Structure formats: structure tokens, C-alpha cells
Amino acid sequence: MTLSNSMQEFILHWGEMGTRWGVNRTVAQVHALLYLSPEPLTAEDISDALSVARSNVSTSLKELQNWDLVQIESRMGDRRDYFRTSSDVWTLFLTVVEQRVEREILPTMTMLQRLVNEARTERPAQPIVAARINAMHLFLEELHGWYAQVKKLPPATLHSIISIGSGITRMLPKARRRRLD
């Protein structure tokens, strides 16, 4: 596969952004290549296109599969695996959010609940510490509850909600609007 200049720039930038999001650069670049590719690619195709070692590509593909961002296809008469990712940005976004919730938010909520219970029974009592940990726990619970509702919405509805954008603030009471400014 020959990469155009725009493809190369997109893949390189996606790799840079991946490192900022805590994702290995090559993992992000493999995902970007699959996103741009109109057809599923073999590991060899990916390795050649990105000039990356085949072993690095295999590791990256396993990581992307663990994140549920890459699917494998088989073809009759061909022993190789073909890899693809969704071309729908909303599906990709929701998949990443779901994985982040499972890996980060839920464990943090569990830890915070444990700490709230511990902080309330510690001696000497530290009510400010207990209150602040509880506030963080309640915030994440509320955020998770909102997420649980939003994730049930179809991508088209989510897109519509996002498109409304800041226009929603015009419907809020004036006192609430001032706090948002």
C-alpha cells in the first residue's frame, strides 16, 4: 500500500496524539492506517506501509484487539488474518470511552468507595478528607450514571446532541448561564 502525503501526515499525527493519550505510538499509527484503509490489511501489509517490524505490528494489533478497536477477518484459501477497524468515528469514540470506563473509571469508583468508608472510621477523624473523597466518589457515580444513559443512544442521536452545542445554554435560567461564562 502506498501512502499519500495526507495519509502519512494523518498517521504520524495520530501516533503523536496516541502518546499524549497514553497509547504506544505504533499502536496508534497501526490504528490510523487501518482507519484510512478502504480494505482490511494483513500484518505484512501494515508492516510494509509503516516501515515497522512485523513483531511490533503483531504486538500493536493484539493491543488494539484488547481495546476492541480491531477485528479479524479470514478469507477462503488464505491462511493470513486480515485486520480492519470501524470507519465510523462515533463507533470508535464510544468504544474507546467504554474501554476507559471499564479500565479507569470503575476501578477508581471502587477504590474511592473503599476510601470513603475508611476515612469515616479513621481516628483521629478527618471530616474534610472524608468529605472530599466522598465528593469525588459522588461525582464519578453521577458521571457514570449519565454515561450509562448516553451509551444507549444511537450514534446519530449523539451527533445531534453534540451539534446542539452551546445553543443549549440559551435554554438554561439566566443564573445558571452566568456561572457557565
Can you give the three-state secondary structure of the chain, one letter per residue?
Answer: CCCCHHHHHHHHHHHHHHHHCCCCHHHHHHHHHHHHCCCCECHHHHHHHHCCCHHHHHHHHHHHHHCCCCEEEEECCEEEEEEECCCCHHHHHHHHHHHHHHHHHHHHHHHHHHHHHHHHHCCCCCHHHHHHHHHHHHHHHHHHHHHHHHCCCCHHHHHHHHHHHHHHHHHCCHHHHHHHC
**pLDDT tens per residue across span 14-56:** 999 999 999 999 999 999 999 999 999 999 999 999 999 999 9
**pLDDT tens per residue across span 86-97:** 999 988 988 999
User: Domain holding 24: CATH number?
Assistant: 1.10.10.10
Whether 98 and 147 map to the same domain: the answer is: yes
Whether 13 and 60 map to the same domain: the answer is: yes
pTM, two decimals, is 0.81
Whether 161 and 94 map to the same domain: the answer is: yes
Of the pLDDT bands very low, low, confident and very high (cuts 50, 70, 90), residue 10 is very high
pLDDT for 82 equals 97
pLDDT of 179 higher than 70? no
Whether 142 and 96 map to the same domain: the answer is: yes
Range of the domain at 53: 5-84
Average pLDDT (102-117) is: 95
Whether 19 and 76 map to the same domain: the answer is: yes
Greater confidence (24 vs 169) lies with 24
Whether 96 and 79 map to the same domain: the answer is: no
